[in-house]
Amino acid sequence: MNNDVNTSATGSTGPAPEPMGADIPSTVPTHWYNLNADFPEPVPPALHPGTREPLGPQDLAPLFPMALILQEVSTERYVEIPEAVREIYALWRPSPLVRALRLERALGTKARIYYKYEGVSPAGSHKPNTAVAQAYYNAAEGITRLTTETGAGQWGASLALACSLMGMTCEVWQVRASYDAKPYRRFQMETYGSVCHSSPSELTDAGRAMLAADPDTTGSLGMAISEAVEAAAKDEQAHYALGSVLNHVMLHQSVIGQEVLVQLAEAGERQADVAFGCAGGGSNLAGLTFPLIGRNLREGTTTRVVACEPAACPSITQGEYRYDHGDVAGLTPLLKMHTLGKNFVPPPLHAGGLRYHGMAPMVSHAVELGLMSGQAVGQDEAFAAGVIFARAEGIIPAPESTHAVAGAVEYARSAESDGQVVLIGLSGNGVLDLPAYAAYV
């Protein structure tokens, strides 16, 4: 699936969980792809929140295993995927790339529409692609507990799944608005053996301070991150795991786009002309499109990438490109990204996974270099497109995914799309989010 492979950035630091010896299909990706190898300019480094100097490995060691720290700063084009991770990937990878013939007919378009469907994973979204990898590397370093935050719950459920498979425990802080609106996600996490708290909570100093300032807050991912980071920092047996934003997360999600390149070729297509992905923190978008952007840069293909974000939390289209904290309490490093400000609290929109105040530094950098563009999508428009998709293709998209569907539907209805290949990143299914559709059916 790739060449020019260098594997030293895997950073193995201890006895890793042993693979179970199952045969792994050759179609399961063997390496992750790193766009940092092909960017024409390097991504600005993360800065220490106190000194404002570039972070060193020792600054991140309290929260992350060394393997992930090495991946965070790696500029190698390909990083080998451990066999134990590939073995778990084989439960659902490669995920299907489907020609949306019924959607094409419903729209009356002359475009050829394909969607890459990540809802076939055990957790129902793309998030296990990095959750399994992060749990693996933490387990290899002897960590027994992970803490994290989650918005809509896809990430929390995915990390809970991964920790269960690796014999670890997981504690999740879920944004209050989603915790209240999406109880089935919490039940999913608990079924996998994890604990889920509403955030902000009374369990951390950060949470108590936030509640004191605004007892009725609906919460934000920035608040939940502060709580999860604080909890990990106070436990020597715990590390923190992040489901988006960071470079190593973008790396792990690249299996999506690498499969797309192979699958499009098998379908007889030279390239996707336009690719639409939903954008919250950036992981699904990067996973789908970074391998395509890398091919543009190396081989001269011309795939256009559109990041579809919610109009209620428009970090790309309305945020500033500057250094900012990833959390409200300012416990995390300073990242150069498109941001609405760490104190931004978005309205409790249904697409809870797209409620983050900032965008991944690598995605932000790609936007600044003109390698992708942003498009803000309103919630009504997104769900209307989700209903069209569901009635045509049979899959009910996750609320987050409906933003990418909306961008693609609008484009496919235009004359500009005639004869073009349109790619949609369908990041997950909406089976556990059905109450969100109630007002749109």
- Is the same domain home to 81 and 177? yes
pLDDT score recorded for residue 14: 52
Q: Which of 244, 278, 303 is the last residue of a domain?
A: 244
What's the Rg (C-alpha) of the chain?
A: 20
Q: Which of 244, 272, 301 is the last residue of a domain?
A: 244
CA pair distance 32, 323, nearest whole angstrom: 27
Residue at 204 is within a domain: yes
What is the residue-wise DSSP string for 153-210? SHHHHHHHHHHHHHT-EEEEEEEHHHHHH-HHHHHHHHHTT-EEEEES-SSSHHHHHH
DSSP 393: H
Overall number of domains in the chain: 2
- Is the same domain home to 154 and 236? yes
pLDDT score recorded for residue 10: 47
- Is the same domain home to 93 and 147? no
Residue 326 maps to which CATH number?
A: 3.40.50.1100
pLDDT score recorded for residue 4: 40
- Is the same domain home to 102 and 140? no
pLDDT score recorded for residue 1: 46
Q: Is 255 helix (H, G, I), strand (E, B) or coil?
A: helix
- Is the same domain home to 300 and 317? yes
pLDDT score recorded for residue 332: 84
pLDDT score recorded for residue 15: 56
What residues does 170 pair with on adjacent strands?
146
- Is the same domain home to 95 and 166? no
Residue at 44 is within a domain: no
Q: Which of 179, 213, 244 is the last residue of a domain?
A: 244
What are the tokens at 277?
């992905």
Residue at 312 is within a domain: yes
Provide the edge-to-edge strand list for the sheet that holds 195-199. 195-199, 169-175, 145-150, 238-240
pLDDT score recorded for residue 149: 94
pLDDT score recorded for residue 330: 82
- Is the same domain home to 270 and 407? yes
CA pair distance 235, 357, nearest whole angstrom: 27
- Is the same domain home to 109 and 92? yes
Residue at 3 is within a domain: no
What are the tokens at 313?
């939390």
Which residue range is the domain that position 291 belongs to? 88-125+248-440
pLDDT score recorded for residue 3: 39
Instruction: Walk along the chain (441 residues) in steps of 10 and give the mean pLDDT of each run.
Output: 42 59 89 98 95 92 94 97 97 98 98 98 97 98 96 93 96 93 92 97 96 94 91 93 96 98 98 97 97 98 98 96 89 93 80 81 98 97 97 97 98 97 97 90 88
